[in-house]
Chain A
């Protein structure tokens, strides 16, 4: 457990160094991976999942991927855009008239 804490501390410090603002850090639990991942000359079966909420310049991404790739304790790294959830406007399935579409294209 102190190792995971050290890894997190390292990554967060590296992020802050490049000028990113860390909003939130979530632990998604430690479970056995869905498939065995071989990374850094080792076959891993269990891993801890962590989610870091970030705000920063997009130029960080490539440097951070490099940095995390060199870290032995990090198995898989990824950056995603912050998901903006908006599903309240979902209207139902509107029946599409395929005949009209075909004729219009011709």
Chain B
């Protein structure tokens, strides 16, 4: 008779890139990694691959940074152009 038990080979749930990192409107470098370098628009969930919570937090933080004068709106800060690629963007 088979014993009922939870899957012993179950992998832990996949974590997104920001799982565990605190998102702040002040660290412009982190926020600029999710922004397009040409237009400055925020990448959607299908490009960044983040969980709901983190995506929402990032958008809110980016909007805040725009308003408070921390991050440029129409483009990406040129000093952050050589950052490693996180989102799977196809230019």
Contact = CB atoms under 8 A, between A and B. Distances in A.
B72 A34 contact: yes
Contacts of A83: 24
A68 B90 CA distance: 45
Interface residues of A, number: 21
Interface residues of B, number: 24
A93 B77 CA distance: 30
Lowest 6 CB-CB distances: which A-B pairs, in order?
A92-B13, A34-B72, A92-B15, A85-B22, A90-B19, A92-B14
B68 A93 contact: no
Contacts of B51: 90, 92-93
Interface of B: 12-16, 19-22, 24, 26, 51, 53-54, 64, 67-74, 77
A87 B54 CA distance: 10
Interface of A: 28, 33-35, 37, 47, 49, 75-76, 78, 80, 83, 85, 87-88, 90-95
Contact of A78 (B15, B24, B26, B67): B67
B50 to A, nearest CB: 9
